Amino acid sequence: MIGHGFMGAAHSQGWRVAPRFFDLAAQPEMSVLVGRDAARANEAAQRWGWAESSTDWRAVIDRPDIDVIDIVTPGTSHAEIAIAALDAGKHVLCEKPLANTVAEAEAMTDAAARAFDLGVYAMVGFTYRRIPAATLARDFVAAGKIGDIRQVRVNYLQDWLVDPQSPLTWRLQKELAGSGALGDIGAHAIDLAQFITGQRLVSVSGIIETIVAERPLLGLRQGLSGTGTTEQGPVTVDDLALFTGRFEGGALGSFEATRFSTGRKNSFRIEVAGSLGAISFDLEDLNALSFFDGTTANGQQGFTKILVTEPQHPYLAAWWPPGHTLGYEHGFTHQARDFVEAVAAGVQPTPSFADGLQVQQVLAAVEASSDNGSAWTPTLARVLASQK
């Protein structure tokens, strides 16, 4: 695993737990954790169960005993690491969004295509697909339970930047993160909407905003008078993104991704309305799916809350008795399980790098729409065609 921190902890938990609850076709060995700082990397490796640590990702990729590279670094390094790993014959799992730019994502997808021909596979980590209730929502839509899709509403709301004195981190710098709320959490909104509906966004219209333009640097500089003065640095990404989109089946969608929704820590909600019913999923109630069956008799209709903990529900047979709920971290265990099973079976794991590229396309289209004020910005038809 290259990189650590928040996502490093989540991915490590997934790799460690998956073979203990699922009967996997191959057993992952947590061999090496790579970080820029030797002491911090070693501490993380020991804490999370990696056999050793390193500060040289290139040397690790060259090792013959390494089969898989898991990338959890900032987006600025995704392309370089992923392409080198794929060209070296290593399977790759890469955190979302796939890259910082469409050009980088295209290069990564081309490398994945070359590797695929040699039996080497790549996957992008849109983990919310692996929450059982979200997967069940996809299954309901695919089975026709809500009929023809007419409208999609998605909101991903956080508030961790409401305080203007929150420091300037890498996530607020475009050269490192690529974009702000749009790419960080808006990418999740796009992917989950497309996953549940089974349809791609083909055009978007959006607006993005940077609400706090400067933030304190992490260091404190002493002024000439001897008093402490905090240096400020520019925020070069968006804090808030609002956009609408049209799906390939004709339905319209509305999307919101923000880090300025005061009081909301990690609220992610999607509702899909169809001709026969509707489904609604809320990350703050992640063990439940709300389903409205419009075919029932008048006077008996209403949203039904389905507790998604039964063994016949997605992924649940490996876990606890019915009613014993799962948490955020279980999605990463399911991700590790799906990745290992696909690679062992010699099939393309999903979402693929091509899927990640398509999401990158939509992100770029939203940003372009905001920049030029266009009513609609089509996403690239070539990417959509490749998914047919």
pLDDT digit string, tens, across residues 62-121: 999 999 999 999 999 999 999 999 999 999 999 999 999 999 999 999 999 999 999 999
Rg (CA), the chain: 21
CB 283 within 8 A of CB 268: yes
pLDDT band at 373 (very low <50, low <70, confident <90, very high): confident
Average pLDDT, the chain: 93
Confidence (pTM): 0.93
CB 260 within 8 A of CB 161: yes
Cis amide prior to 164 (ω within 30 degrees): no
Residues with Cβ within 8 Å of residue 201, at least 6 apart in sequence? 190, 193, 194, 245, 246, 247, 248, 253, 362, 379
Per residue in 243-262, pLDDT (tens digit) is 999 999 999 999 999 999 99
Q: What is the predicted pLDDT for the residue at 53?
A: 98
The percent of residues above 90 in pLDDT, for the chain, comes to: 92
Asked if residue 10 has pLDDT above 80, the reply is yes
Short-list 90, 38, 53, 93, CA closest to 71: 93
Q: What is the predicted pLDDT for the residue at 218?
A: 75
**Class in CATH terms, 6-127:** alpha beta
Q: What is the predicted pLDDT for the residue at 375?
A: 58
The amino acid that residue 1 corresponds to is M
Asked if residue 219 has pLDDT above 80, the reply is no
Residue 6 has phi, psi (to 5 degrees) of -55, -55
Asked if residue 308 has pLDDT above 80, the reply is yes
Domain boundaries, given as residue ranges, for the chain: 6-127, 128-330
Assigned architecture for domain 128-330? 2-Layer Sandwich (3.30)
Per residue in 376-386, pLDDT (tens digit) is 666 544 444 44
- Report CA-CA distances (Å) from 187 to 223, 248, 349: 41, 18, 19
Q: Which letter does DSSP use for residue 110 in this model?
A: H
Short-list 116, 76, 74, 127, CA closest to 92: 116
Q: What is the predicted pLDDT for the residue at 387?
A: 40
